[in-house]
Structure 1
Amino acid sequence: MDGGAVVGLRVRGTPALGHVDFDVLDGYRFADGGGFPPSYRAFVRRAGWGRAFGLWLVLPPVLAGYADGWQGRGAELTERFRAAYREGEREGFDWMVEPDGHWALPGSLEVFARSENGDVLLWETASRTAEGEFPVWESRRSDTLHRLGADLYEALPLVRARSEEALGVRPFDVEPLPAVRLG
């Protein structure tokens, strides 16, 4: 999947963009000084907040007062992921980094999407490409590490295929979801 394919994502109705914080989407900087990967920015602008491929919730940066954003939920999921992997390394559970990872990797992985069955998509933030992209990894229930591609453009077809295996082919790629305000 390339940039054109993100633009071609079939969104059911109108994308939910009203609570997306575009200032953060365009202005946030990671430790390396670079911003969000272009593939992620394109996905958020096209799809907004919603359920992708019937299963995945890609966390956009959201305005203050809203739930399910990259800043809050993504940070919480990242910390849980890293804690699970620190514990796994202490326990010698080497299967947790299989089939594609190694123990140094989880510390540089950051959650940007979660599935409704407990899997997460992560960026490898220590390995930005010249195009500004981060490699994309999947952790299935914090028990494995699968490298899905050099960027979200490469990863999306694999995510779609796995979702279709589980749920069947859907008439749309993204189902917009209502924004939820924090309590």
Structure 2
Amino acid sequence: MKKPAIFGKAILSLAVLALSFGMTSCKNEPKTEDPKEVAEEENETKFDDTKKAEEDAEILVDAAEFDLQQRELGKLAQAKGVSTAVKDLGKMMEKHHNDSFNELATLAKGKQISIPSAITEDGQKEYDRLNKVDAKNFDKEYLDRIYKDHHEAIEDFTQDGQKTQDVEIKAYLEGKVVALKGHHDAIQQLQTTTAKK
């Protein structure tokens, strides 16, 4: 009767030994990553990309808003400006910002980014405000407004150009900063001339 008990113990010992070998061999294999951790890492990468894409979209939307407003204010300056110099500046602003907007629209389309196609509510409010200014004050008010707008845009476009990692958007913004500085200087010169009159 004792033989079967000894035999049973031997089998049990072998099973424990085999199991411990099995566990040891598992420990020697390269550790597989936790599926949850893998998923979290993938999501972090996805959301990082999405955040960057959202930031780039916001940059282009802001740039479009600026171009559309400056284009419409340029038209207004041609209609309401008193001096020929302000009318000419308005014409130049309309053309340059229209060309800039068309370039931007092509860039945005290639990136599948939606941008406004008409003047925004804020832009319209400023247009309406300037449209109500009486003729004798219009030139000064217009120049003051677009001087401020261009000054801020140069700062914004410079910062956005440093922030974005998209090569095409960066190149677009850097090119616009150069153009805006040219506008800024022309406005400032005209402000000086107008103030002397």
TM-score bucket of the superposed structures, by smaller chain = under 0.3
Pick the structure with greater CA Rg. 2
The answer to which structure has the higher helix fraction is 2
TM-score normalised to structure 2 length: 0.26
The answer to which structure has the higher strand fraction is 1
TM-score normalised to structure 1 length: 0.27
